[in-house]
Amino acid sequence: MLIERELTESDLPLLALIDRSELVEECYRVENGELILYPARFDMRGWPEGEAAENARVLEKCWRSGGWLHGIFDGETLVAAVVVDNRVIHNQGLNMRQLKFLHISRAWRGQGLGGRLFALACEHGREVGAAALYVSATESRNTVEFYQRQGCRLLAQPDPELFALEPHDIHFYCRLD
């Protein structure tokens, strides 16, 4: 039976155990304000070197500054998680919060957990007064199209700081009204 709950500081190391492996065969890039699909083949196995440790530092800082972290567990195993940063981002005339992290373990994909966690993140955003969520999504087709199905739209002008961190990501926003 799956259990949903807010995550605590002691849960932070569990985020690195989410199996994010995926065979990617197509990706998107932005050209002249349009999403362009192109062939790309890579086998993502686990977390790239150093990324899990960096994520742990970033997410701990986010948690300490009032960020919202929520997870879904199968028994004691964290199988899916979402994080919304508390820092306000002003973009396109909107007060936004960043969707910092949304990952579903490979064995649990396709069961609606991502949509459920995204909906909870939107609900949290509304509760803290955000008009939109800012999403910096990896460029894989599955990820980009997931966010589009959730109602995310391409940002005309990505946040400069977030774009500098992830220039290959697809920068979206999702209105919360």
Distance CA 66, CA 176 (A): 20
Arithmetic mean of pLDDT, 23-46 = 93
Arithmetic mean of pLDDT, 109-129 = 97
pLDDT on residue 47: 67
**Amino acid found at 11:** D
**Phi (first) and psi of residue 50, to 5 degrees:** 85, -15
pTM of this prediction exceeds 0.85? yes
Burial 101-133 (b: 16+ CB within 10 A, else e): bbbbbeebbeeebbebbbebbbebbeeeebbbb
pLDDT on residue 80: 97
Provide the residue range defining the domain that includes 47: 2-175
Number of domains within the chain = 1
pLDDT on residue 155: 97
Q: Is the pLDDT of residue 48 over 80?
A: no
**Amino acid found at 89:** I
pLDDT on residue 54: 77
- Res. 133 pLDDT band, cuts 50 70 90: very high
Using DSSP, state whether 64 is helix, strand or coil.
helix
Arithmetic mean of pLDDT, 133-146 = 97
CATH of the domain at 126: 3.40.630.30
Q: Is the pLDDT of residue 96 over 70?
A: yes
Query: Going by C-beta distance under 8 Å and a sequence separation of 6 or more, which residues neighbour residue 101?
Result: 15, 55, 59, 81, 82, 83
Q: Do strands 68-74 and 94-104 pair parallel, antiparallel, or not at all (unpaired)?
A: unpaired
Q: Choose the weakest-confidence range: 37-41, 57-61, 125-129.
A: 57-61
Q: Is the pLDDT of residue 95 over 70?
A: yes
